[in-house]
Structure 1
Amino acid sequence: MNLSQATIPVTIILVPQGAEYQAICRGINQITSRPLPLILSIPIGAEPVTQYLETWLKTTTNFPQHSLPKVLVMGLCGSLSPNYSVGDIVVYNDCVAIDRNQDRPQPLVQQCCSQLTSLVQQQLGNKANSVGDSGYDCAPLAPQFWGEQNSKSPPKLGDLGGLSKTKPTRIHTSMGEQNSQSPPELGDLGGLSKTKPTRIHTSTQQRQANLVRGLSSDRIIWSSSEKRQLGQSYQADVVDMEGFATLSVLNPKGFAVAMVRVISDDSDYNIPDLTPAISADGSLKPFPLAMGMLKQPIAATRLIRGSLRGLKVLQQVSIRLFS
């Protein structure tokens, strides 16, 4: 069968809790022409997602070795390179982890399944020009940082993780609701005295599925200068908090894993440092979250706007992959 005519053979989608999970559910819920994949809401961060997946593997039905489920990791990510901007679709070739062992000559690397990755990239490449904006008329919980989903108890196979119960949730910030037609004035942002409008792709023709190297961090990379430095040091294009850990658990078990993410913040600007808002179990602490956003309102507004754009694309990507 030609790759362009093939159906993505994914049976499980892993997606960070909160807005990303809800966006995927909204997209998948529009598909009626084929069996739906199981959607699992995973926690934020390497250690929580490792514990979650290890527990899930122990408690779920034993999989026959000859027919292990094919897994697709989806969600948002940050750009480490000026080549990738808000709204860009990326497909991971491999993933490295920030290495605290300074004596190690090479970074730790986990490969995605090349065959499944090629199929996903081909499917997105064929349909990239059809990916459009679904148009949120309100701000759903923006990326991982406004999540309400509980990831502590892995669902059983067959449970679509609340697929039919999700709906957009409106958020309010201290600055009031943002008018999507009127970008805020850009002032000083974390020591950057001069700023320029964030590049956000709105043309569907601009959205191509780029093959990238992902970098997984144990904390939020909020500084634009650190983003660029890490991108150069690890030869990585984007950053997340779950990719490497997911591959480290599932690859040794023989699962075929591919990763598709959409960029929600680029490398030109700082975002709020929300690391203190992430608890040890991968859930969020509301008060530190609110304080982190209020301390940097302009950066917070930019993060929310970029996240909304990324979520729109993410929802459409899920439709295109599985319809």
Structure 2
Amino acid sequence: MTNDIQVILVPQGAEYKAVCRGLSRVTSTPTVIPIPVGIKPLTTYLHELPEDGRFVNHPQARVLLMGLCGSLSPSYPVGKVVLYENCVYQGKFQACEARFTTQLYSALKTHNSALNLVKGLTSDRVVCSAAEKRQLGETLGADVVDMEGFAALEFFNQVGVSVAMLRVVSDDCHHDIPDLTSAISPDGSLRSLPLAITLLRKPIAASRLIRGSLQALKVLEEVTGVLFSD
């Protein structure tokens, strides 16, 4: 079934590198494309993709979005692997392709009995407060939060391409994390100096976020290898 996945989209930087490491032990691999961070930069990027038939008007195309996410519920601790059913953004709703998602779930469940199907929330900023995370989870009925999911679903659903989303939780809903919003440039790349300054201002929260991210990236690498193993 994974042979049907033409493209993996994954946020640029550490997440992209983790997925590539996971695929390095696999003989047959899909194309892996690093994407910008954030819903607006990703929307712009997707609409500028070349119309070479790989995505647009290709009913058999399958795209898998991978990466990290934040937890909105105590049920999803750091390192938890989650498979999205749908995603909400500012009251709007987009669903992942059900058959594709079910097949991925079946393929991974034998290797990860703790795999969960979740409802996602896409945010246009970093949700850094633990209290806000839990409130969003309760009021919106969402389990995890990211910054790209809705944009990908909206675009690919419009052009008739099947898309699924697989992510790993990198920060829980019990602790605050540094507000990294200012470190994300308008084009969706991370700015190293503002990132470093933000982390230095909140050393304890930064240390916790780094530990959680490293743990989640390792899981992301492992689940990529499992999913695409022969």
TM over 0.5: yes
Q: Deviations 1:107-148 (Å, cap 9, x if unpaired)?
A: 21100000000011111101116xxxxxxxxxxxxxxxxxxx
Contact preservation (8 Å) 2:171, 2:209: yes
TM-score, normalised relative to structure 1: 0.69
**d(CA) in 1 for partners of 2:67, 2:188:** 15
Counterpart pick for 1:10 among 5, 9, 18: 5
Q: How does 1:252-267 map to 2 (within 5 A)?
A: 252-267=158-173
Q: RMSD between aligned alpha carbons?
A: 1.3
Task: Report if aligned partners of 2:59, 2:161 keep a CA contact under 8 Å in 1.
Answer: no
Match of 2:23 in 1: 28
Which of residues 134, 137, 145 in structure 2 aligns to 1:231? 137
Q: Is the 8 A contact 2:58 2:161 kept in 1?
A: no
Is 1:80 equivalent to 2:72 in the alignment? yes
Structure with the bigger RCO (C-alpha within 8 Å, sep 6+) is: 1
Aligned residue runs from structure 1 range 59-98, under 5 A = 59-63=50-54, 65=57, 67-97=59-89
Per-residue CA deviation, residues 278-301 of structure 1 (Å, 9 max, x unaligned), is 111101222211110000001000
Contact 2:59–2:160 (8 Å) recurs in 1? no
Once residues 273 and 266 of structure 1 are traced to their aligned partners in structure 2, the CA distance between those partners, rounded to angstroms, is 15
Find 1:281's aligned residue among 187, 205, 217: 187
CA contact (8 A) 1:8 1:120 kept: no
- How many Å separate the matches in 2 of 1:228 and 1:24? 29
The aligned counterpart of 2:201 is 295
Q: Per-residue CA shift, 1:89-122, capped at 9, x if unaligned?
A: 000000001x2xxxxxxx2110000000001111
Q: CA deviation at 1:9?
A: 2.1
1:141-184 CA-partner distances (Å, limit 9, x unpaired): xxxxxxxxxxxxxxxxxxxxxxxxxxxxxxxxxxxxxxxxxxxx
The answer for the alignment partner of 1:249 in structure 2 is 155
Q: Which consecutive residues of structure 1, in runs of 5 or more, have no partner in the other structure?
A: 1-5, 100-106, 130-207
Letter in 2 for 1:12: V
Identity percentage over the alignment?
Answer: 51
Larger Rg: 1
Kindly tell me the number of residue pairs found equivalent between the two proteins.
228
Greater share of strand: 2
Unaligned 5+ runs, structure 2? none
